[in-house]
Structure 1
Amino acid sequence: MVRQHVSRTCASRSVAALVMVAASVLSGCTTYTVRPADTASEPVVARTVNQDQNVVTAKMATAREELGQMVALQDRLYRIAAPLLINNADLCRSQARNLLGFTAKNRYSYSGEYVDAATAVLNYGDRLEVASVLAGSGAAKAGLKQGDILLEAGGKPLPTGPNAETQAAAILGPLASNSKTLNLMVERKNTNVPLKLPVTRACAFKIDIGNADTINAYSDGQRVLITRGMVNFAQTDEAIAYVLAKDMAHNILGHAAITRSAYTVGGIIDNLVAIRPDTSLLIGSAGVKPMPQELDGAADRLSLYMVARAGYSTAGARAFWQRLATQYPATVLNGYTANHPGVSYRLSVIDKTVADIRSKQSSNKPLIP
């Protein structure tokens, strides 16, 4: 009985301790070696341990693959969004802020088995590392690089360990708001490197990838989320820019507040940013009411100006939105067209706006909507 109890303990530890490094879990179990008097039972014990080892290894492999894919998609969104955020600061009105132009993470920016996946895939430890640098930002111009380890900001040591990301934001935010430049000390290849970052005026919208294969995008007044499914459908950077700009425009125009959907959409975004969201919450319309066509048309108009000002072409906008509505009509619940059903009205607004933009571009007039 004692031998059986020890074996079960080892098995349960392997399954429950997925948040630990896989090698540590496995070695921890193998220290409880059971040598039963009845040698016939030995293969059973070995088989149980091996099965648990396989479960842990498979879980870790899956976590690494999922995390790698998510980070690659997020990096792509940042790159596409950069000119939309920076070149349209004046259109964002009160939602423009002084930004430093980079994000920083450590292994504790993730949860569960992804803590160890972040170490294995991204080489993250306890210290904050630069995860992305916004193209065209002051951080990019100052030479900040992905992988730089943050040491000090404005002469203040930056935190490490759990909650470091949140604690650092509390230090960096006021520094960016109250000065035109930020003195930053980073470690790069084991050498301390001082940098002077000019702050960047930009639309202060958080851009997120949604971990779902539904074809949709959401905005709650402060954030913009585009699903993995929408990225795969859009395919090109230009088409993704159409989607991002459209939801930025909804935020600028205050449509989440007007339609009283900020709380509902905010909950959807909170769910979809998880690496493994609860997709059952997306059944049906997920509580989202269709956007009135007049509001949608206003967002289409503003978004196309934002796209043009960011250096993207508006020529393919009509074809993209029409293709989306054709392949995923309003009858496809929890799809983009179901939430934005005024397709004919929107296409007419897009046609007129693209013509207006071309006219202003040809006569060198400012692209002001």
Structure 2
Amino acid sequence: MAVLNRRVLPRLKRAVFNLRLPALSVALLLAACATTVSPPPGEQLPGLPGKPSAPAAPGMPGAPSVSSTEQEALRALVGMQDRLYRVAAPLLVNNTDLCRSHARNLLGFTAKNRYSYSADFTNAAQTLLGLGDRLQVVGVLPGGGAARAGVRRGDELVAVDDKPMPEGENAERQAAAILAPLVTGRTKVKMTVLRNGSSQTLTVPLTYACAYGIELGNTDNVTAYADGHRALITRGMLNYAASDEELAYVLAKELAHNALSHASRQRMNSTIGGIIDNLVRMHPDMSTMAGLAGVRPMPEDLDAMADKLSLYMLARAGYNIDRVAPFWQRLASQYPASVLNSYTAMHPSTAKRIAAMEKALKDIKTKQAAKRPLLP
């Protein structure tokens, strides 16, 4: 995002905070099946914003008037969501052997319309992103079935297996309900899309992947949460991660907690699920986030297990794992356990974690050198 002057920046921050933060859920339209956790009342089902082709140009007929602050706010949110999607995708696709019962058939794309944003930003979504009433493909999973079948950003969804796709305010929720049974026990589906005004029919092979929801938290606290079905990365953590690789370290750790059912083992599903529901809202209730917000610190043995599994997930996804331990050491140094609501406060056993990482790193390198399967 371009550098802004001191008068514009505060307005932009307020505008971003006023956006409802839809989840980046590869378990919904991208996955074509809903997770067992429903969105909060009044929230749209999530999708992935992108930059579809041929948006309506400001000032042209049919393009609503949108302030520059609204446009910058939407660009900022789109950028954060797009980054999360890009980093999460290889982790979800390459770790079906490790995510156990959460692996599902996916369509391999996400779709949104202008109602995927709060009412104040529907005009901005139409003007800036070219979104209308019909669901439009805004993210295609690289290497997935949809990409191989030729699905493109900007394609408008007309029908799937001859079932008309819904339009309007509740289109995402209704589409998820329609698509979920269509991918069960199937290897491919037939899709009809509208591209540049012409109707096209595509046969889309389904993609098998981990169906965890990936969500963006509306807080500057540098932390992350996993409730067994979803992984939430806060805006603060997203900004702290200096590279996509560092962001992948955090995402993999939370996905590992989910794969190992750690929230269930601690009986924290409901508590953490409530925190995630709160932090994805337009105006999170931060009064409930005092201290650890009811979350018990992760026991060192469970944390070490998740760190080990996360390294395997990262290696299988093609990420460089040599700098994982230094990243967590730096985070613990800058945000120690004494900083409440920080990641380290909920994961205090840094020394034990680092030891587990170093051991796992050696095991993975040995298996890679011997060309053995990367399984813990």
TM-score (norm 2): 0.80
State the distance in 1 between where 2:301 and 2:156 align: 47
- Secondary structure at 1:113 match in 2: helix
User: Equivalent residue for 2:359?
Assistant: 352
Whether 1:115 and 2:116 are equivalent positions in the alignment is no
- Aligned match for 2:264, one of 257, 263, 285: 257
- In structure 2, the gaps of 5 or more residues are 1-17, 20-63
Contact 2:66 2:124 in 1 (8 A): no
CA-to-partner distance for each residue in 1:256-296, whole Å, 9 max, x for gaps? 11111111111121122234433333332122111111111
CA-to-partner distance for each residue in 1:313-358, whole Å, 9 max, x for gaps? 1100010000000000001110100010111110100010011111
- Secondary structure at 2:119 match in 1: coil
Distance 1:61 1:287, change over 3 A: farther
- Which AA in structure 1 matches 2:93? I
User: Equivalent residue for 1:8?
Assistant: none
Distance 1:274 1:59, change over 3 A: farther
- Which AA in structure 1 matches 2:321? T
Distance 1:101 1:275, change over 3 A: farther
Contact 1:82 1:136 in 2 (8 A): no
Whether 1:217 and 2:221 are equivalent positions in the alignment is no
Whether 1:228 and 2:239 are equivalent positions in the alignment is no
User: Equivalent residue for 2:11?
Assistant: none
CA-to-partner distance for each residue in 1:74-94, whole Å, 9 max, x for gaps? 111111111111110111111
The count of aligned residue pairs is: 315
Map 1:355-366 → 2, pairs under 5 A:
355-366=362-373
- Aligned match for 1:318, one of 294, 303, 325: 325
- Secondary structure at 2:134 match in 1: coil
State the distance in 1 between where 2:308 and 2:331 align: 18
Whether 1:154 and 2:161 are equivalent positions in the alignment is yes
- Secondary structure at 1:131 match in 2: strand
Distance 1:356 1:335, change over 3 A: same
CA-to-partner distance for each residue in 1:12-50, whole Å, 9 max, x for gaps? xxxxxx99xxxxxxxxxxxxxxxxxxxxxxxxxxxxxxx
State the distance in 1 between where 2:287 and 2:194 align: 43
- Which AA in structure 1 matches 2:194? E
CA shift at 1:227, angstroms? Answer: 1.1
- Aligned match for 2:196, one of 186, 189, 206: 189
State the distance in 1 between where 2:144 and 2:344 align: 34
Whether 1:135 and 2:178 are equivalent positions in the alignment is no
Distance 1:66 1:286, change over 3 A: farther
- Which AA in structure 2 matches 1:233? Y
State the distance in 1 between where 2:281 and 2:155 align: 25
Contact 2:66 2:127 in 1 (8 A): no
Whether 1:179 and 2:186 are equivalent positions in the alignment is yes
Contact 1:60 1:113 in 2 (8 A): no
Percent identity of equivalent pairs: 55
Whether 1:288 and 2:295 are equivalent positions in the alignment is yes
Contact 1:88 1:203 in 2 (8 A): yes
- Which AA in structure 2 matches 1:155? D
State the distance in 2 between where 1:338 and 1:59 align: 42
Larger CA deviation: 62-71 vs 253-262: 62-71
RMSD: 2.0
State the distance in 2 between where 1:276 and 1:64 align: 20
Whether 1:328 and 2:298 are equivalent positions in the alignment is no
- Secondary structure at 1:264 match in 2: helix
CA shift at 1:246, angstroms? Answer: 0.6
Contact 1:206 1:223 in 2 (8 A): yes
- Aligned match for 1:144, one of 146, 151, 170: 151
- Aligned match for 1:302, one of 306, 309, 312: 309
- Which AA in structure 1 matches 2:360? T
Distance 1:58 1:197, change over 3 A: closer
Map 1:235-274 → 2, pairs under 5 A:
235-274=242-281
- Aligned match for 2:176, one of 144, 169, 192: 169
CA shift at 1:242, angstroms? Answer: 0.8
State the distance in 1 between where 2:130 and 2:164 align: 22
Map 1:65-80 → 2, pairs under 5 A:
65-80=72-87
Greater Rg over alpha carbons, structure: 1
State the distance in 2 between where 1:213 and 1:143 align: 38
State the distance in 2 between where 1:136 and 1:266 align: 31
- Which AA in structure 2 matches 1:98? N
User: Equivalent residue for 2:43?
Assistant: none
CA shift at 1:61, angstroms? Answer: 4.5
User: Equivalent residue for 2:205?
Assistant: 198
State the distance in 2 between where 1:74 and 1:134 align: 14
